[in-house]
Amino acid sequence: MGLTTYNLQSVKKELQHLSSSQLADLCLRLAKYKKENKELLSYLLFDANSNDTYIEGIKQEMDELFKELPSHYYYAAKSMRKILKLITKHTKFMASKPAEIELMLHYCLQYVNHVDKRTGYKPLRQILHKQLEKTAKLISALHEDLQHDHKAGFEKAVSEADEKLSWINKNDYL
């Protein structure tokens, strides 16, 4: 017989019966034991009301990581995946598809500008292919007005990739 794990609805009902000091204690205890919980709590408390500033901070962090990108293709691919993990974590915090699209487009543009254009390393190439496909899928899931806003940025990223990388064909994505 194992421990019982309660569903989210049960937890929510139980939390409504607690005082504000008990809730604060629970939040601090959660933040104490896991780094991601602490980061999420920090985002919710300090950054959730200014998503634009938060996105710019993430972009700056991405830019720094791209500047430090190793020249060896294997290690470059590992670094690219690390940057994608960063994006995934922060977009999970924000829970905003337009913000995720904006970060993904920035990632794709930085990829085009920083990765060795002659690389034949397939995993490194696949990273860009998958992110472009994922971004196109995210854009198509948005409301029509928002789609129009993001399509221009997506087309710019694809066109720039087509110009600079011989192994990208913009007709595959547009």
Q: 73: closest CA among 29, 40, 114?
A: 114
One domain, residues 67 and 125: yes
Domain end, chosen from 49, 65, 89, is at 49
What is the C-alpha radius of gyration for the chain, rounded to an integer number of angstroms? 20
Token reading at 140: 């198509």
Phi, psi for 9 (deg, rounded to 5) = -65, -40
One domain, residues 40 and 57: no
Token reading at 125: 């190439």
In a domain, 10, yes or no: no
Number of domains in the chain: 2
DSSP per position, 33-70: H-HHHHHHHHIIIIITT-HHHHHHHHHHHHHHHHHT--
Per-residue confidence in pLDDT tens, the chain, 174 aa: 567 888 989 888 888 988 999 989 988 888 888 899 899 989 988 998 999 999 999 999 999 999 999 989 999 999 999 999 999 999 999 999 999 999 999 999 999 999 887 778 899 999 999 999 999 999 999 888 888 889 999 999 999 999 988 888 888 877
Q: Which residues contact 81 (CB under 8 A, 6 or more apart)?
A: 127
* Other Cβ atoms within 10 Å of 87 Cβ, number: 19
One domain, residues 84 and 122: yes
